[in-house]
Amino acid sequence: MSIKKQVLKSKPICKVSFKVSKEQSGNAAEVAVLGDFNEWNPTADVMSKLKDGSFSHTIELATGSSYSFRYLADGAVWFDEPEADGHEAGEFGANNNVINT
C-alpha cells in the first residue's frame, strides 16, 4: 500500500493518491476509500482496479487538515494503511488511519 501527496501551488489543495496491492486487498473485486472527506460513504471513492490486480484512486483534499480513513474491500472487509501519517481510535472500536495534508 502507499500514499502519495502533491500540494498544488495554485490553490490550497493536496492531491492524495492511494494505492493498494492485490495481496493487501485480499484479492478483492472492489476496494473503496472511506473517511471524513466523503462522510464514510462506500460508493463515493471506489478505487480503480489495475491490470495487475492492485487498486488506485486520487482525491483532492484541503491543505492544513487531518482526515480519518480506512479501506473497505467488497463492501465487507475493512483494512488499514500501514503508511498512514498516524492512527486514532474510531467510534466503532477499530482504529482509523489518519492523513495530514
pLDDT digits 0-9 by tens, 36-90: 999 999 999 999 999 999 999 999 999 999 999 999 999 999 999 989 999 888 7
pLDDT in tens, 21-34: 999 988 899 999 99
Does the predicted TM-score (pTM) go above 0.75?
Answer: yes
Question: Please, are residues 49 and 19 in contact by the beta-carbon 8 Å criterion?
Answer: no
pLDDT attached to residue 28? 94
pLDDT attached to residue 93? 63
SS3 for 37? Answer: helix
Which of the four CATH numbers 3.40.228.10, 2.70.98.30, 3.20.20.70, 2.60.40.10 does domain 2-100 have? 2.60.40.10
- Among the residue ranges 3-7, 78-82, 89-93, the one predicted with the least confidence is 89-93
List Cβ neighbours of 3 (8 Å cut-off, separation of 6 or more): 16, 17, 18, 19, 81, 83, 84, 99
pLDDT attached to residue 91? 72
List Cβ neighbours of 39 (8 Å cut-off, separation of 6 or more): none
